[in-house]
Amino acid sequence: MTLSSSSGTLGAGATATVTVSINAGANVLAAGTYSDTVSFTNTTNGNGTATRSVSLTVSASPVLSVTPDNRDVGVAAGTTTFEVANSGAGTMDWSAAVIAGGEWLFIQSGASGTNGGTVTVGFTSNQTAWPRQGIVRVSAAGAAGSPKYVTVTQASGSVSLGLIGQRLVEKAWIIQREYGKLTVTVDNPASIVVDTYVIYRNAGGQGYQILQQLGGSSVSGVQWTDIDAFLEPGTSYTYKIVAVDALGNIIGESNEISI
Amino acid sequence: MKKTLIVPAVLLLLTMASAESRLFVSVGAGFMRPTDPGFRQIYGNQALLPEVAAAVRLYKGLCLTAGVGRASEEGMTPELGLMTKARQEYVSVGLGYMLRISQGLCADANAGIAGMSCHEEALGAIVKGHGLGYKGELGILLMEEDGRAFIGLRLGYISARVSGLEPPIAGPLSIKLGGPKISLCFGLQLFGND
């Protein structure tokens, strides 16, 4: 408590008002009743000395609790949940909203409730090669600990490439030439957008050079082939293929194959 | 090969024709079934064969004959589906015999040597070759009343082998050129009076 004044002088017939107020210390008080006494003492002659009782009742208030603080989720689309609870007393109305990552994260159900509840958050597949994080804010007016921020962290996607090579011969009538047939197997469970597939070739140990660049949209299916026409007899060729996103980042690389 | 055969043949024919011999010139078109299975696999079982032929009568029905022809075809490689081109050409000289069966009907036969060449453009490469072979023909000609123009049907066979094709661009080391052929021709008699 805080008194507006703790001493003073009064003339005959005069009055003064002392205001008793609660201070910041009351904020940390647990629920309950707190009592004290204010004493007014006539320091001149003691006449009229008196006491007054004061009491403070601290009522229990709602406390917002959301668990867990973060959910780690996989690359594929799906849902995850957060539990909302009122760990205090009284009634607590709350609501949840996505405040970051709204392009891939959304409240599927449980966007609002009273006291306890479950917030179900949906997310799309991560079609980038990088992890990403979205934020959900849970607010409860008048509740301690509000608002509460929880996060959803989604793993990065990846493109797995398998490469098989064959050295074959193509024949016309008189002319025949050797060529390479490359079979590429693509495992892209998150449907990451591949901007370009770059095929590298190392001819005769001279170092890798770009053989061909294929637009990611120009090939389809989990398996496709590419032809390297033509090969010099007696020369060994080594190949690898790399998947690149629109920013030029490598998001997948195959094994090397020699033919 | 072509020049070494054509130039002397033409000169000889003109010399003899100008000496009041009778010169027959014909153009024709027909089909040849190439002997080489590799050619047929890529370019089909028959090739269009335009021809030009000439004959100079030496004595009675005996003639000195010459001819040229070219078969050009386009095809696709079996696995990669790439466009290919090939041709077979021949230049021939030989002896023939013309037998007049009736006023408007004449049969002829001729045989001789043929210089043949081949050319293929495929898979980013070009291969050429040539070889010496033979050619034989049998024909029947329908002649105009005055004998100056004729049309005919000729069956023949032409063959040569080309060897020494260098690997690795050339798959086979030797190939066969030519094959049986059939053609329709239209011809004129020049420098003659009867």
For the segment A180-195, the average pLDDT, to the nearest whole number, is 88
Neighbour count for residue A160 (Cβ, 10 Å): 13
Q: Please indicate whether, in this complex, the C-beta atoms of B169 and A175 are within 8 angstroms of each other.
A: yes
Put simply, whether A166 touches B (Cβ < 8 Å) is no
Q: 């229990």: which residue's tokens?
A: A60
What pLDDT is stored for residue B78 in this prediction?
A: 92
Q: Please, which residues have CB within 8 angstroms of residue A40's CB and are 6 or more apart in sequence?
A: A18, A48, A49, A50, A51, A52
Q: Which residues of B are less than 8 Å from A229 in CB distance?
A: 80, 82, 123-124
Say which residue, B5 or A116, is predicted with more confidence.
A116
For the segment B151-168, the average pLDDT, to the nearest whole number, is 88
For the segment B3-26, the average pLDDT, to the nearest whole number, is 63
Q: Please indicate whether, in this complex, the C-beta atoms of B168 and A172 are within 8 angstroms of each other.
A: no
Q: Please state whether the peptide bond connecting residue B180 to the residue before it is cis, i.e. omega within 30 degrees of 0.
A: no
| Residue among A174, A179, A227 whose CB faces B170 most closely | A174
What is chain A's length?
Answer: 259
State the ipTM, two decimals.
0.84
What pLDDT is stored for residue B10 in this prediction?
A: 59
Question: Rounded to an integer, what distance in angstroms lies between the CA atom of residue A223 and that of residue A187?
Answer: 9
Distance from CA of B69 to the nearest CA of A (A): 20
H helix or E strand, kind and range, residue B4: helix B2-18
For the segment B156-178, the average pLDDT, to the nearest whole number, is 84
Question: Rounded to an integer, what distance in angstroms lies between the CA atom of residue B187 and that of residue A109?
Answer: 94
Distance from CA of B146 to the nearest CA of A (A): 47
Q: Please indicate whether, in this complex, the C-beta atoms of A172 and B39 are within 8 angstroms of each other.
A: no
What pLDDT is stored for residue B17 in this prediction?
A: 53
Pick the CATH number of B2-190 from 2.40.160.20, 1.10.8.60, 2.40.240.10, 1.10.3720.10: 2.40.160.20
Put simply, whether A227 touches B (Cβ < 8 Å) is yes
Least-confidence region, from A147-151, B20-24, B101-105, B185-189:
B20-24
Least-confidence region, from A9-23, A235-249, B158-172:
B158-172
Phi then psi for residue A155, to 5 deg, are -65, 155
Tell me the three-class secondary structure of B28-50, residue by residue.
EEEEECCCCHHHHHHHCCCEEEE
Q: What pTM did the predictor assign? A: 0.65
| Residue among A168, A173, A233 whose CB faces B86 most closely | A173
The confidence band for B172, taking pLDDT boundaries of 50, 70 and 90, is confident
What pLDDT is stored for residue B194 in this prediction?
A: 46
Beta strands A20-21 and B149-162: pairing type? Answer: unpaired
Positive or negative CA dihedral for B30, B36, B40, B45? positive
Question: What is the tens place of the pLDDT at every residue in A85-132?
Answer: 998 888 899 999 999 999 999 999 999 999 999 999 999 988 887 889
Residue B25 predicted with pLDDT over 80: yes
What pLDDT is stored for residue A178 in this prediction?
A: 93
Question: What is the tens place of the pLDDT at every residue in B29-65?
Answer: 999 999 999 999 999 999 999 999 999 988 888 999 9
H helix or E strand, kind and range, residue B5: helix B2-18
Q: Please indicate whether, in this complex, the C-beta atoms of A177 and B127 are within 8 angstroms of each other.
A: no
Question: What is the tens place of the pLDDT at every residue in A213-252?
Answer: 999 888 877 889 999 999 998 999 999 999 998 888 888 8
Question: Rounded to an integer, what distance in angstroms lies between the CA atom of residue A194 and that of residue A250?
Answer: 10
What pLDDT is stored for residue A76 in this prediction?
A: 85
Put simply, whether A229 touches B (Cβ < 8 Å) is yes
Put simply, whether A177 touches B (Cβ < 8 Å) is yes
Q: Please indicate whether, in this complex, the C-beta atoms of A230 and B82 are within 8 angstroms of each other.
A: no
Question: Rounded to an integer, what distance in angstroms lies between the CA atom of residue B69 and that of residue B47?
Answer: 12
| Residue among A171, A177, A233 whose CB faces B125 most closely | A177
Percent of chain A with pLDDT over 90: 58
Q: How many alpha carbons fall within 13 Å on the CB side of residue B149?
A: 2
Residue A190 predicted with pLDDT over 90: no
For A206, the token pair is: 């001279």
Residue A39 predicted with pLDDT over 50: yes
Percent of chain A with pLDDT over 70: 100
Q: Please indicate whether, in this complex, the C-beta atoms of A173 and B42 are within 8 angstroms of each other.
A: yes
Phi then psi for residue A207, to 5 deg, are 100, 155
For the segment A190-206, the average pLDDT, to the nearest whole number, is 90
For A13, the token pair is: 């017939």
The confidence band for A191, taking pLDDT boundaries of 50, 70 and 90, is confident
Domains recognised in chain A with CATH numbers: 2-58 (no CATH), 64-154 (2.60.40.10), 160-258 (2.60.40.10)
Put simply, whether A13 touches B (Cβ < 8 Å) is no
Across the A:B interface, residue pairs with CB atoms under 8 Å apart total 71
Put simply, whether A232 touches B (Cβ < 8 Å) is no
Q: Please indicate whether, in this complex, the C-beta atoms of B80 and A229 are within 8 angstroms of each other.
A: yes
